[in-house]
Chain A
């Protein structure tokens, strides 16, 4: 049981390049989330999904796209990377329990855009 995994762990992009971050969870969770963490800013929600085939915007969605084609995977895409997207990206998942809002996080992807 690996929990939540993210690939890659590190990436350096040039401005204008594109890339996709992959998140996978093996806990059969319905909900999945993408966050970014910047110094002094805490965790900010980019996009989230409440089930396979669904996506929704979070607090800071501009410049990102997501897809949830399979329940266990949640992809985050950057079509044209900008230096402002230099950040650490975390994926998380959670189950529908009705009385618990605990999210399980992956180890993060450190992205640098030059």
Chain B
């Protein structure tokens, strides 16, 4: 049972345009959501997060939106840059005290110059 789903394995956008990466979840107990970026041969790096009590969090070019009723979140990157090309993982936590994260399978973003 996949609790965090990223249904698009890949996404290609033009430099300067908006990139929208989507994530759906099934567990209504999740109360914290994170996005990680991963370059080849490197470990994932934290990008941005959002608590379930909010519906939007912004950090520079990156904005995460949360729709709790739809159990859906999205990451917007504006404007997209070639250096943003990476695999993006959505993750969620129940906050049970162990801070365990459940990850989606990832979406490979390619930003074309």
Contact = CB atoms under 8 A, between A and B. Distances in A.
Interface of A: 4, 31, 33, 35, 40-45, 48, 50, 56, 58, 90, 92, 94, 96, 99-108
B103 A42 contact: yes
A108 B99 contact: no
Contacts, number: 60
A45 to B, nearest CB: 6
Contacts of B104: 42
Interface of B: 6, 9, 32, 34, 36, 41-46, 49, 51, 89, 91, 93, 95, 97-106
B89 A108 contact: no
B43 A90 contact: yes
B34 A101 contact: yes
A103 B101 contact: yes
A99 B99 CA distance: 10
Contacts of A102: 34, 46, 49
15 contacts: A4-B43, A31-B98, A31-B99, A33-B100, A42-B106, A45-B101, A50-B98, A58-B100, A94-B99, A101-B99, A102-B34, A102-B46, A104-B46, A107-B43, A108-B41
